[in-house]
Every structure is written in C-alpha cells, then in structure tokens.
Amino acid sequence: QKEVEQDPGPLSVPEGAIVSLNCTYSNSAFQYFMWYRQYSRKGPELLMYTYSSGNKEDGRFTAQVDKSSKYISLFIRDSQPSDSATYLCAMRRGSEKLVFGKGTKLTVNP
C-alpha cells in the first residue's frame, strides 16, 4: 500500500462549481498536511497548510483533515478557470521529509 494515494483525474468542472480534491494515507503518524497548486511548467505553490486534524479556510479554499479516517480534502468554492492546475497533497511526521501524492489535474471550463 502506498503511503499517500491521490486520484490523478483528470477532473473537469464548469466555472462556478464546487471542487473536491482528496487524498488518503496509511501512516497514522503524519501530523503536517499541505496542499500545493502547480501550474503547467511551473514549480508547486503552497496553497494550504494544516497541522493535525480540523478545517482551515482561506478565501475560496477549505482544507480538511480527518485523522481517524486518514483522509484529507481540499474544497474550492466558486471555481474559476484560473484554478485550472494540478493539485498535490503532501504530508509528513515531525521534521521528516514530505511525502507527496501524485497530483490531480483540474480543469475549470468557462
């Protein structure tokens, strides 16, 4: 079983839709959870960062961590064409190296 699983998509939605992106993981010791957005031919950009369980909201973006289910989510409300990118989840325990999902490619159609 892989440490982090992420559906690669692709996911295609109309503008204004609510988008749900998810990752599951197997290591219950993970404490830090991140979401990155990566535009084509660019480096990943840190979007959301959460420590332990709970929700975090930033504008149209909400990150959720459910440690009991080993499941994290990123919700995008009122999605825009500029949200079209690949979204990577990442997580780690303490100061250990980050473990990444393989990314989900999202397209928001005008």
Three-class SS of 19-66: EEEEEEECCCCCCEEEEEEECCCCCCEEEEEEECCEEEEECCEEEEEE
User: Cα–Cα distance between 13 and 75 in angstroms, integer?
Assistant: 13
19 binds another protein (CB under 8 A): no
Considering the complex, state which of residue 79 and residue 89 has its C-beta at the smaller distance from another protein. Answer: 89
- Residues from 79 through 108 that contact another protein (CB under 8 A): 88, 90, 95, 97-98, 100-103
* Cβ-contact 77, 58 below 8 angstroms: no
What one-character DSSP code corresponds to residue 80? -
- Residues from 24 through 83 that contact another protein (CB under 8 A): 32, 34, 36, 41-46, 49, 51
Considering the complex, state which of residue 40 and residue 68 has its C-beta at the smaller distance from another protein. Answer: 40
Residues that bind another protein (CB under 8 A): 32, 34, 36, 41-46, 49, 51, 88, 90, 95, 97-98, 100-103
